[in-house]
Amino acid sequence: MAAEQDVTQHSVSAGEYIAHHLTFLNGTGGAQKDLIDFGLINYDTVFWAVFIALSGGFLLWFAARRATAGVPGRFQAAVEILVEMVADQAKDLIHSTESRKFVAPLALTVFIWVFLMNAMDFLPVNLIPNAWTAIYAGLGHDPHHAYMRVVPTADINATMGMAVTVLLLCLYYNIKIKGVGGWAHELVSAPFGSSKNPLFALILGVINLAMQLIEFCAKTVSHGMRLFGNMFAGELIFMLIALMGATWTGLNAPSVFLMLGHIVAGFAWAVFHILVVTLQAFIFMMLTLVYIGQAHEGH
Amino acid sequence: MNLNATFIAQIVVFLVFAWFTMKFVWPPITKALDERASKIADGLAAADKAKTNLALTEKRVSDELKKARESAATVRGGAEQQAAAIVEEARAEATRIVAAAREAAQTEAAVAAQRAREELRSQVAVLAVAGAERILRREINAEVHADLLTNLKQELS
pLDDT digits (tens, 9 = 90+) for A227-246: 999 999 999 999 999 988 88
| One-letter-per-residue 3-state SS of chain A | CCCCCHHHHCCCCHHHHHHHHCCCCCCCCCCCCCCEECCCCCHHHHHHHHHHHHHHHHHHHHHHHCCCCCCCCHHHHHHHHHHHHHHHHHHHHCCCHHHHHHHHHHHHHHHHHHHHHHHHHHCCCCHHHHHHHHHHHHCCCCHHHCCCCCCHHHCHHHHHHHHHHHHHHHHHHHHHHHHHHHHHHHHHHCCCCCCCCHHHHHHHHHHHHHHHHHHHHHHHHHHHHHHHHHHHHHHHHHHHHHHHHHCCCCCCHHHHHHHHHHHHHHHHHHHHHHHHHHHHHHHHHHHHHHHHHHHHCCC
- CA separation for the pair B20, B157 (Å, rounded): 146
**Between residues 18 and 37 of chain B, which touch chain A (CB distance below 8 Å)?**
18, 20-22, 24-33, 35-36
pTM of the model: 0.76
Cα A265–Cα A223–Cα A58 angle in degrees, nearest 5: 75
Residue of A58, A71, A157 to mutate for B, most B C-beta atoms under 10 A: A157
Active-site annotation holder among A26, A226, A252, A255: A226
Residue of A109, A155, A220, A288 to mutate for B, most B C-beta atoms under 10 A: A109
Element holding B139 (H helix, E strand): none
- Report the chain B residue with the minimal C-alpha distance to residue A165: B11
Nearest CB among B6, B31, B39 relative to A158 is that of B6
Domain residue limits, chain A: 6-296
Q: Work out the pLDDT band at B141, boundaries 50, 70, 90.
A: low
- List the one residue out of A9, A17, A11, A20 whose CA is nearest residue A242: A17
- Active-site residue, A222 included: yes
Chain B residues within an 8 Å CB radius of A110: 18
- CB contacts < 8 A, A to B, total 140
Q: Do B3 and A156 touch (CB under 8 A)?
A: yes
Contact at 8 Å (CB) between A296 and A173? yes
Residue A2: the pLDDT is: 42
Nearest CB among B6, B21, B32 relative to A69 is that of B32
For chain B, the distance separating the N- and C-terminal CA atoms, rounded to the nearest angstrom, is: 170
pLDDT digits (tens, 9 = 90+) for B74-92: 999 999 999 999 999 999 9
Q: Do A157 and B10 touch (CB under 8 A)?
A: yes
Q: Would the pLDDT of B46 be above 90?
A: yes
Chain B residues within an 8 Å CB radius of A102: 18, 22
- Report the chain B residue with the minimal C-alpha distance to residue A109: B18
Contact at 8 Å (CB) between A7 and A126? yes
Which residues of chain A have a pLDDT value below 70? 1-11, 299
- Active-site residue, A230 included: yes
